[in-house]
Chains A and B, each alone.
Chain A
Amino acid sequence: MKALQVSRSVPKLGMARLASAVSPLAAAKLGPLAYTTVDEPELPGPGWHRVHTRLAGICGSDLSLVEGHASLYFDDVVSFPFVPGHEVVGELDDGTRVILEPVLGHEARGFAPPFEGAAPGDGDDYSHLSTGALEPGIQTGFCCSTGGGWAPTFVAHESQLHRIGDMPDERAVLVEPFAGGIHAALLAAPVVAARQDTTRPAVVAVLGAGTMGLAAIAGLRRYVPDVEIIVGARYPHQQMLAKAYGADVVVGPDGLQRAVRRATGCHLIGDHLSSGAHVTIDAVGTSATVADSLRITRPRGRVVLLGMPAEVTVDLTGLWHRETELKGAYTYGTEHLPDGRTARTFDLAIETATAVEAERLLSATYPLSDHVDAIAHAATAGRRGAVKIAFDMRTGDT
Chain B
Amino acid sequence: MPRPGFVLDVDRSTPPTLFWHGEGFRLEKLPADRSRVIYAPEPHDAIDDVDGAIRTALLHPIDMDPLPSLLFPGMKLTIAFDDVSLPLPKMRRPDLRQRIIEQVLTMAADAGVDDVHLIAALALHRRMHEFELRHALGDRVYDAFEPRGLLFQHDAEDPDNLAFLGTTDQGEEIEINKRAAESDLLIYVNINLVAMDGGWKSTAVGLASYRSLRHHHNPTTMEASHSFMDQHASELHKSTWRMGKVMRDHGPKVFQIETTLNTDTFPQPFEFLAKREWEWNAKDRALYLASAKALAKAPPRTARKIFHGIEAPHQMTSIQCGEVEAVHKVTTQNVYDQQLVEVEGQTDILMLGIPYICPYNVNSIMNPILVMCTGLGYFFNLYRGKPLVREGGVVILTHPTTNEFHPVHHPSYIDFFEEVLADTTDPHVMSQKWEQQYAEDDWYRHLYRTTNAYHGVHPFYMWYWGSHGMKHVGKVIIVGGDAATVRKLGFTPASTMNDALEIASDTVGRHPTITHMKTPPLMIADVK
Task: Please give the residue numbers on chain A whose beta carbons come within 8 Å of chain B beta carbons, in ascending order.
Answer: 249, 251, 255, 258-259, 261-262, 265-268
Contacts and interface: CB of A to CB of B under 8 A. Distances in A.
Interface stretch (B74-82, B238-246, B425-433, B440-448): B440-448
Contact of A259 (B418, B441, B442, B446): B418
Nearest to B407: A268
B419 interface: yes
A255 B441 contact: no
B39 to A, nearest CB: 43
A229 to B, nearest CB: 15
Interface of B: 414-415, 418-419, 441-443, 446
Contact of B443 (A255, A259, A266): A266
A266 B414 CA distance: 16
Contacts of B441: 262, 265
Contacts of A251: 418
Interface on chain A toward B: helix, strand, loop, or mixed SS?
mixed
A283 to B, nearest CB: 21
A247 to B, nearest CB: 13
B415 A262 contact: yes
B448 to A, nearest CB: 13
Contact of B446 (A255, A258, A262, A267): A267
A249 B418 CA distance: 11
Contacts of B414: 258
Given A258-B414, A261-B443, A267-B446, 14 more contacts: A251-B418, A255-B418, A258-B418, A259-B418, A259-B419, A262-B415, A262-B419, A265-B441, A265-B442, A265-B443, A266-B443, A267-B442, A267-B443, A268-B443
A249 B414 CA distance: 16
Contacts of A259: 418-419
Contact of B415 (A258, A266, A267): A258
Nearest to B417: A255
B419 to A, nearest CB: 6
Contacts of A268: 443
A268 B451 CA distance: 13
A251 B422 CA distance: 10
Contacts of B446: 267
Contacts of B443: 261, 265-268
B310 to A, nearest CB: 32
A261 B419 CA distance: 12
A255 to B, nearest CB: 5
A262 B442 CA distance: 10
Contacts of B418: 251, 255, 258-259
A268 B419 CA distance: 17
Q: Which 10 interchain pairs have the tightest Cβ spacing?
A: A267-B443, A255-B418, A262-B415, A258-B415, A262-B419, A251-B418, A265-B442, A267-B446, A265-B441, A258-B414
6 contacts: A251-B418, A258-B418, A262-B441, A265-B441, A265-B443, A268-B443
Nearest to B446: A267
A271 to B, nearest CB: 12
B189 to A, nearest CB: 35
A262 B446 CA distance: 14
A231 to B, nearest CB: 13
B408 to A, nearest CB: 12
A204 to B, nearest CB: 18
A106 to B, nearest CB: 49
A266 B442 CA distance: 7
A268 B408 CA distance: 12
Q: Which of B415, B442, B443 has most chain A Cβ within 10 Å?
A: B443
A102 B446 CA distance: 52
B367 to A, nearest CB: 15
Contacts of B442: 265-267
A265 B456 CA distance: 12
A258 B443 CA distance: 11
Q: Which of A251, A258, A262 has most chain B Cβ within 10 Å?
A: A262
A143 B415 CA distance: 49
Contacts of A262: 415, 419, 441
Nearest to B443: A267
Nearest to A250: B422
